Amino acid sequence: MSAPGRIGLIARNTFLEAVRQKFFNVLVVLSIAMIASANFFRQFDFGSSELKFIADFGMGAIFLFGSILSVVVTAQLFFSEIENRTALTMLAKPVYRWEFIVGKFLGVFIVLFAFVTLMLALLAAVLYWRESGLMNIHPEDFEDGRLVNYLGIVELAFSELLKFGVLAAITMLIASFSNTNLYTVVLSFFVMVICQLQYIARDNWSDLDNPLLRGLVWFLSLLFPNFQMFNVGEQLIFPTHDATLSTGGYLGIIAYGSIYICMLLGLSAYSFRNREI
């Protein structure tokens, strides 16, 4: 069997293991409940801005639960192989260690794909339903047609998926050298916060006088991916003349995420290469 075949098998098995875990099901139910609950805020009668509220609320829920899913499922699925010694049986077969790492990651990536698709489909359904209702109540706000760009939600699915993919790859890298599941989860969330807030350092980079400090901040900004790059939900769902995302800009985000995933997986495979199991 070829390397892609073995990777595919490991990914399929990892996905199967993930969906049979209660944790995943609970998280999906919670996320669905949270997005659906955005509807109940309509009693405040925000008018057409209610749609933005629902979209923000929904994307917030996806980010919160998607991040938890990316970190916890990656760490859990990796360490279940190590602690249950199934990795021992697997790596005693003609399987390269990098194939094992990539296969595990792809299994998690399929889980994330299922999660993001389900959540954004639900968000789109809620938005469509409320938008149709608001079109009857406030027709003057919809003279130019629907406000929500539903194609943009499809595009958002890929950028969100890549963001969670980068987070899963970070977790995989930490898991490849760490000894415990807990350490991996805590450190991964810590790195996630850095990635989420590193734009503050980027913004202040040009103001720094000390060249050494400037170099350090520049290096750190490259080391940790900038998660703000992926925050394009509003531009994609509610595009305006002032705030829209070009095709080039969108493809740039996809390339940015893909490059980080490839680099992080490469480092994970390197780190896992000589790990004693």
Partner 1 sequence: MSEPAIRIKDLTKDFRIGVRGVKLRAVDNLSLDIYDNQIFGLLGPNGCGKSTTMKIVLGLLEPTRGECSIYGVGSHSVKSRVNVGFLPEAPYFYKFLSGRELVRYYARICGVAKSEINDRTEEVLKLVSMENAAHRRVGTYSKGMLQRIGIAQALVHDPKLVVLDEPTAGVDPIGSHAIAELIVALKERGKTVMLCSHLLAQVEGVCDRVAIMSRGKLVLEGGVDELLEKEDERSLIVGDYNPEAQKEIEAVLEKYGAQLRKVEAPRISLDRLFLQHTDGSAIGSGQDVSDKEGKQ
Q: Determine the interface stretch with partner 1 among 3-11, 38-46, 109-117, 198-206 (rule: CB under 8 A).
A: 3-11
Site for partner 1 in 116-135 (CB under 8 A): none
Of 94, 139, 211, 248, which one interacts with partner 1 (CB under 8 A)?
94
Residue 95 or 112 with smaller CB distance to partner 1? 95
> C-beta of 89: minimal distance to partner 1 in Å?
6
d(CA 207, CA 214): 9
* DSSP-assigned states of every residue in 108-121: HHHHHHHHHHHHHH
Q: What is the size of the binding site for partner 1 (CB under 8 A)?
A: 24
* DSSP-assigned states of every residue in the chain: --HHHHHHHHHHHHHHHHHTSHHHHHHHHHHHHHHHHGGGGGGG--TTHHHHHHHHHHHHHHHHHHHHHHHHHHHHHHHHHHHTTHHHHHHTSS--HHHHHHHHHHHHHHHHHHHHHHHHHHHHHHHHHHHHHHHHH-GGGGTTS-S--HHHHHHHHHHHHHHHHHHHHHHHHHHHH-S-HHHHHHHHHHHHHHHHHHHHHHHHHTT---HHHHHHHHHHHHHS--GGGG--HHHHHS--SSS---HHHHHHHHHHHHHHHHHHHHHHHHHHTT---
> C-beta of 181: minimal distance to partner 1 in Å?
16
Q: Does 101 bind partner 1 (CB under 8 A)?
A: no
Residue 46 or 96 with smaller CB distance to partner 1? 96
Q: Determine the interface stretch with partner 1 among 47-55, 82-90, 141-149, 251-259 (rule: CB under 8 A).
A: 82-90
Q: Does 142 bind partner 1 (CB under 8 A)?
A: no
Site for partner 1 in 164-223 (CB under 8 A): none
Find all residues with CB under 8 Å of 98, minimum gap 6, and list them: 269, 272, 273
Q: Does 22 bind partner 1 (CB under 8 A)?
A: no
> C-beta of 68: minimal distance to partner 1 in Å?
22
Q: Does 85 bind partner 1 (CB under 8 A)?
A: yes
Residue 101 or 261 with smaller CB distance to partner 1? 101
Residue 94 or 248 with smaller CB distance to partner 1? 94
Binding mask 31-70 for partner 1 (x = CB under 8 A): ----------------------------------------
d(CA 261, CA 193): 18
Of 84, 132, 180, 204, which one interacts with partner 1 (CB under 8 A)?
84
Q: Does 16 bind partner 1 (CB under 8 A)?
A: yes
R_g over Cα of the chain? 21
Residue 6 or 163 with smaller CB distance to partner 1? 6
Residues that bind partner 1 (CB under 8 A): 1, 5-6, 9-10, 13, 16-17, 20, 84-86, 88-96, 274, 276-277
